[in-house]
Amino acid sequence: MLFGKKKRLIERVLIVEDEPLVAFDTEHFLTSEGFEIVDTVDSVADALAAINDAEALDLVLVDVRLSDGSGIEVAQVARARGVQVLFVTGNCPIEARSLAAGCLAKPYPQRDLLAAITAIEAVVEGQKPKRLPHSLSLFKSAA
């Protein structure tokens, strides 16, 4: 297909966000961009269950501060399963850089979220990302 869209490496996404409006907006936006949302959850416990139950999962978007614990725990489990992680938070955890592909600082425009996912895909493919949003810190562990 000459002018068709390139197949994405990241298609199935888990959203872990305890702010309902942010979670809803993120889910709606990513769905409209063609991603499949595996689940949207608001706690560490539900995120761990979703990761363990998912047959296929490509990316976990996780806030660090959740009502029942830290998104770092979610990142540890996701990374152990070989799933890419992107922290979406106001306070990027420096100590967790080895667990995630990067960190997208809140608040961010939706186009930055899409650009962050595209950048992670590029790194996974062994390429240099074309454009990084200013709100994204891409970690070496993305590959």
pLDDT in tens, 79-137: 999 999 999 998 888 888 899 999 999 999 999 999 999 999 998 888 888 888 889 99
pTM value is 0.91
Domains defined along the chain, listed by start:
12-142 (3.40.50.2300)
Specify the DSSP class assigned to residue 7. P
Instruction: Classify each residue of 9-46 as buried b or exposed e, where b means 16 or more C-beta atoms within 10 Å of its C-beta.
Output: ebebbbbbbbeeeebeebbeebeeeebeebbbbbebeb
pLDDT score of 1 more than 50: no
pLDDT of residue 131: 82
The tokens describing 139, both together, are 């970690």
pLDDT score of 141 more than 70: no
pLDDT of residue 6: 64
- What is the C-alpha separation between 135 and 137, in angstroms, rounded? 7
The answer to whether 83 and 51 are in contact (CB under 8 A) is yes
